[in-house]
Amino acid sequence: MNNVVLVGRLTKDPDIRYIPGTGTPVATFTLAIDRDYKNKDGSTTTDFIPVELMGKPAEFCANYITKGRLVGVQGNIRVDRYETPNGEKRTFTKVAARNIQALESKGSAAPNTSNDNFEAPVFEPSGVVSPSEFSAVENDDVPF
């Protein structure tokens, strides 16, 4: 199973590009995530995790998520392999995200962001069924 959930702050505004031919939006950004322990000197270590997001969540990200915002990201770990022009083989690890959610309003983000009181909408993927839409199956032919 390859599943990851991260909570962190964007280090800069997301970069958006579109895949040629299909026009699918792709947003890339880096999350800064503090480790949950302190070093001997009392400081914390921060990890910088590259994230790639495609489709409608990428458009949401480009329109509403800015540098310093606290977000939650769900996806999986991807390891890309490539070869440099010099023939060296390299690997690059990133999170291929499926969902993103802003965890704070724009006005309560880091001090260097704008101070208008705009609340970003929560991105909900289409096709999600709420528990109230399920109904019990009452069928004696069900084998369990």
Q: What is the pLDDT of residues 124-141, one digit of tens each?
A: 555 555 555 555 556 566
Q: Give the pLDDT score at 120.
A: 52
- Give the pLDDT confidence of 59-73 residue by residue, as tens digits: 999 888 999 999 999
Contacts 24+ apart (CB under 8 A), 88-94: 92/50, 93/50, 94/49, 94/50, 94/51, 94/52
- pLDDT tens sequence for the chain (144 residues): 999 999 999 999 999 999 999 999 999 999 999 988 888 888 888 999 999 999 999 999 988 899 999 999 999 999 989 888 999 999 989 999 999 998 987 666 555 444 444 455 555 555 555 555 555 556 566 554
| Residue 49 backbone phi and psi in degrees, to 5 | -105, 120
Tell me what pLDDT residue 116 has: 47
Query: Sign of torsion, CA 17 101 104 43?
Result: negative
Give the integer Cα–Cα distance in Å for 38 and 114.
31
Structural domains of the chain, with CATH = 4-133 (2.40.50.140)
User: What confidence score (pLDDT) does residue 40 get?
Assistant: 86
Q: Enter the pTM of the model.
A: 0.68
